[in-house]
Amino acid sequence: MKKKILVTGGTGYIGSHTAVELIEDGFEVVLIDNLHNSEAEVAERIGKITGTKPRLEVFDICDREKLNDFFQRNMDVSAIIHFAAYKAVGESVSKPLDYYWNNLVSLINILEGMKDYAVPAIVFSSSCTVYGQPEKLPVTEDAPIQPAISPYGNTKQIGEEIIRDTVAANKNIRAVSLRYFNPIGAHKSALIGELPRGVPENLVPFITQTALGLRDELKIFGDDYDTPDGSCIRDYLHVVDLAKAHVIAVKRMLENKNKHDYEVFNLGTGQGVSVLEAIKSFERVSGIKLKYKITGRRAGDIEKIWADPSFANRELGWKTLSSLDEAMKTAWEWEKAVRKKN
């Protein structure tokens, strides 16, 4: 019988790509999402890609009663991948309580549910934001956690601590925190991808929207950093590569291959790419000359960060397969497809 995986935030950007990979790997998938930042139609699109439309339950995970009701009807959930969270860094500064409430209450409810309904395994979406500006690059998992720059980042740090303590106190629960670097791109079908509401905060959606004429020009936030071309450096990985790591993490726990009850992995390519290099990649794959200008630095930006993914490479047998150009190309194909539809 197929093992059932609950994917919270399952109609969102990374959740939807992970649902595809899970279904294609033979899992049954059930999605929960309150559609705060995504659309129900994504479940149909996952169905178009895989041939199996996952069931979507629409409710807020902060609602403990609704979540309990879900678990009562789904006593056979084998593992949870918990993506549901608010993720806009800037908004978290102006609405900290919304972020602490949504991201932490939802996590606590999920962990309570795991205890009450004997769900043994969880994968948590964490972020390289927990490292702040690391002293040593590439950054390894044992690098010191820095004071969070935003309430959003703080919810990831606190979330990891809540999980660590819960696993320590409950011998039937195991967990993996995945610290994502910068996911970009979309499924090759161009049926699912990143669809930010309003003005995008992230670089790649801003680039693709500018190229389509939805934005006048991209602002590059600073060219006076201590990097080879002066712009900030990140580790951009293809969202499908990222999604596959979740499938591996789930199987590792379900097959008792984990070495510790709580494990943490960096997920990145290991390559640092500057903002200007990312733009060049986009121009190469799209054939479009992007309109951009250099402006001042964005408050709170990290100068440079990229992953040492060797622990995930070794322990999970996972590595990124797509190049930056391939990821950019899928982001561009998705942007064009989604605008045609809307």
Residues serving a catalytic function are: 152
Which of ligand NAD, ligand UFG, none binds 106 (CB below 5-8 Å, type-dependent)? ligand NAD
x/- mask, ligand UFG, residues 50-89, rule CB under 6 A, reads -------------------------------------x-x
User: Which residue's beta carbon is nearest to the bound ligand NAD?
Assistant: 12
Which residue blocks in the chain are alpha helix, DSSP H? 13-24, 41-50, 64-73, 89-94, 96-100, 106-116, 151-169, 203-211, 239-254, 275-286, 310-315, 324-341
What is the Cα–Cα distance from 271 to 274, expressed in whole angstroms?
A: 10
- Pick what 298 binds: ligand NAD, ligand UFG, none; C-beta below 5 to 8 Å, kind-dependent: ligand UFG
Pattern of binders to ligand UFG over 131-170, x per CB under 6 A? ----------------------x-----------------
Cα–Cα distance measured from residue 313 to residue 111, given in angstroms and rounded to the nearest whole number:
28
Closest CA to 17 of 40, 46, 39, 38: 46
Nearer to ligand NAD, 167 or 243 (CB): 243
Compose the 118-157 pattern: x for residues touching ligand NAD by CB under 6 A, - for all others. -------x-x------------------------------
Instruction: Check if the beta carbon of residue 139 is closer than 8 Å to that of residue 302.
Output: no
Give the one entry of ligand UFG, ligand NAD, none that residue 60 binds, where binding means its C-beta sits below a cut-off of 5 to 8 angstroms depending on kind. ligand NAD
Rank residues 104 and 294 by Cβ distance to ligand NAD and give the closer one.
104
Write down the residue that tokens 């696993």 correspond to.
167
**Cβ count within 10 A of residue 2:** 12
